Amino acid sequence: MREFNVTGLCIPGKHYMVDISEKVRQIAAMVEKGQYFTINRARQYGKTTTLFQLELLLAKEYTVIAISFEGASDGMFEVEDKFCQGFLYICSKYFSERDLPGSDIWIDSSVTNFDLLDAFLNKVCKDQKIVLMIDETDKSSNNQIFLRFLGILRDKYLKRGRGAGATFQSVILAGVYDIKNLKMKMVLAGTHQLKDGEKRINSPWNIAAEFEIDMSFSAPEIASMLNEYEKDHQTGMDIEAVSEEIRAYTNGYPYLVSRLCKTIDGKLEKDWTSKGLQMAVRLILIEQSTLFDDMFKNIKSNAELRDLLYSILINGRSYSFNSDNYGMELGLLFGILTQNGEKIAIHNLIFETRITNYFATEKDISDSMLTMRTPIDAVTEGNKFNMKMFLERFMKHYYEIYSNRDIEFLERECRLLFITYLKPFINGVGFYHIESETRNSERTDVIVDYNNEQFIIELKIWHGEQKHEKAHEQLIKYLDSKNKSEGYLLTFDFRKRRAKKPSAKWVRKGKKKFLDCLAV
């Protein structure tokens, strides 16, 4: 019986897989053109599985050498002769492990420097079309020797264009770091220190074609996997609706797609409903995994990235993409950020919520007393959550504890204080996410799912009566877009002559109603 896989290579016949055949055909077309390129994507983004599918397709027409540097020793990258012999050995091993002819060709003990390797490659590539695929190209912490190897391949590529010498039909490199970013990896690892004027980006691989194939999973691609699953299990799920919802939570991040499916199948009794998906998301938000371990290691060790994420998630700032911004560069590299037109955004809702939870946990250390004042069962009745009572309790405690705090601090932290207060009340039953499309420095929409209920809360900062009326209109339009009749508006008022006490009143406009709350 097939299963969903979240570790390593996905194998047809053993695992439920998204149909990526069209993506693979697009990559194969680049190989046919003789292009050299890199596939650099974040951890657990499906690179290895894509390369495997590509290898199977290309093997029908080309001699393929698909290798990885993951198991290579650091000693291989120390000096030329060790690299040359190590590279030839790995290539030879590829053929021998698959009982393919050609293993002996790649054994030559006389190849002890790059000039001799150049001549060797001329010989073996002369009469056959060879495609070289190298996975985990960024595994070594010392990449200077590897960069020199790429320089050899670059020269051979250029000579081929002039009709001088033979080389690989195509070279495909895969890893988290693009070749141009390998020096940056060495800086982060502490194995290289930038000199005055030295740039982080320095590529011997400027011959590489742009790799613009979207490796995230679309809703129809997710549906292709669920169709195969449904043939085996006949759960009666609405495949189209489930696929769209999975895409909405994950933005097609391959690991997260498979993780959600595996969780529903294995831990939630095959509950392929919105409620089941919400429960799966809740479980993912608290589980340990190498993906999240890597993500938070990178956030904690890079102040520029951490500050950028805090500014986007907590302060509601919006940023245009700037390739010279180090925090953005790292966020895109690690798959935490994505480009949305000219803007950057957190890659997906699960990342947004998990990172926001991390920042809220930091705040818990100093503000734990804020949540201790209200028993959780005071705002819950059975499976129901009393959002009106919750907001009133929040405003009361906010007023008691923070009304005399520095205004600048409150404007900067008010949203985080609200989320910090909210988390303990919904943990274990519900979860929240911040609507990225509406978030800005003046407005943040928080969506809370609690059992079968969904609450829409718009957070605002007071900027006058006119802006407040506009907030009413925005909330009504947003309720329309979500097909909801009821919502909540929480406005933080930092005026010197503000109201003396917090207030909350229901406002009705047409068929919509919302609780208009003023926190002071």
> Is pLDDT larger for residue 176 or for residue 484?
484
Query: Does 374 share its domain with 324?
Result: no
Contact indicator for 461, 411 with CB cutoff of 8 Å: yes
Query: Does 378 share its domain with 510?
Result: yes
How does residue 57 score in pLDDT terms, banded at 50, 70 and 90? very high
Nearest CA to 498 out of 389, 395, 387 is that of: 395
Query: Does 495 share its domain with 468?
Result: yes
Query: Does 471 share its domain with 442?
Result: yes
CA distances from 260 to 200, 223, 342, 441 (A): 37, 14, 30, 32
In a domain? residue 224: yes
Residue 458 burial (CB count, 10 A): 22
Q: What is the pLDDT of residue 374?
A: 65
Query: Does 178 share its domain with 57?
Result: yes
Which residue range forms the structural domain that includes residue 240?
A: 219-286
How does residue 28 score in pLDDT terms, banded at 50, 70 and 90? very high
Q: Report the range of poorest mean pLDDT among 19-23, 79-83, 214-218, 382-386.
A: 382-386
> Is pLDDT larger for residue 494 or for residue 260?
260
What DSSP letter does each residue of 481-498 carry, written as one string? HTT-SEEEEEEE---TT-
Contact indicator for 513, 486 with CB cutoff of 8 Å: yes
d(CA 136, CA 139): 6
Identify the H or E element spanning 455: strand 453-461
d(CA 315, CA 295): 21
Token pair 């405003």: residue: 395
Query: Does 241 share its domain with 134?
Result: no
In a domain? residue 6: no
* Helix and strand element counts for the chain (H, E): 17, 14
Query: Does 103 share its domain with 146?
Result: yes
- CA dihedral of residues 395, 401, 403, 409 (deg, nearest 10): -100
Q: Is the pLDDT of residue 203 over 90?
A: no
Q: What is the pLDDT of residues 215-226, one digit of tens each?
A: 999 999 999 999
Q: How far apart are the first and last CA of the chain?
A: 59
Residue 439 burial (CB count, 10 A): 24
Nearest CA to 128 out of 63, 59, 202, 222 is that of: 63
Q: What is the pTM of this model?
A: 0.87
Nearest CA to 112 out of 79, 67, 154 is that of: 79
Q: What is the pLDDT of residue 383?
A: 82
Q: Tell me the mean pLDDT in the region 48-71.
A: 94
Q: Is the pLDDT of residue 368 over 50?
A: no
Q: Tell me the mean pLDDT in the region 62-72.
A: 91
In a domain? residue 327: yes
Residue 158 is which amino acid? Answer: L
Structure tokens at 156: 């051979």
Backbone angles phi, psi at 381, to 5 degrees: -135, 105
CA distances from 240 to 236, 272, 273, 449 (A): 12, 11, 12, 21
CA distances from 171 to 44, 255, 429 (A): 22, 26, 50
CATH of the domain at 105: 3.40.50.300
The SS3 assignment for 454 reads strand
In a domain? residue 81: yes
How does residue 27 score in pLDDT terms, banded at 50, 70 and 90? very high
Query: Does 475 share its domain with 385?
Result: yes
How does residue 456 score in pLDDT terms, banded at 50, 70 and 90? very high
d(CA 80, CA 238): 57
Query: Does 324 share its domain with 261?
Result: no
Q: Is the pLDDT of residue 460 over 60?
A: yes
| DSSP label at residue 194 | P
In a domain? residue 1: no
In a domain? residue 34: yes
Structure tokens at 29: 């077309």
Query: Does 95 share its domain with 141?
Result: yes
Size of the chain in residues:
520
Q: What is the pLDDT of residues 283-335, one digit of tens each?
A: 999 999 999 999 999 999 999 999 999 999 888 888 999 988 989 989 999 99
Query: Does 434 share its domain with 492?
Result: yes
Q: What is the pLDDT of residues 121-176, one digit of tens each?
A: 999 999 899 999 999 887 665 567 888 899 899 999 999 999 888 999 999 999 88
Pairing assessment for the beta strands 443-450 and 486-492 based on DSSP bridges: unpaired
d(CA 21, CA 53): 8
d(CA 17, CA 500): 59
Token pair 């819950």: residue: 380
d(CA 126, CA 96): 22
Highest mean pLDDT among 339-343, 346-350, 495-499: 346-350
Structure tokens at 266: 């294995």
In a domain? residue 42: yes
Beta bridge partners of 132: 65, 171
Please state the domain count of the chain.
Answer: 4
Backbone angles phi, psi at 312, to 5 degrees: -70, -50
In a domain? residue 96: yes
How does residue 205 score in pLDDT terms, banded at 50, 70 and 90? confident
Identify the H or E element spanning 515: strand 512-519
Query: Does 54 share its domain with 93?
Result: yes
Q: Is the pLDDT of residue 370 over 60?
A: no
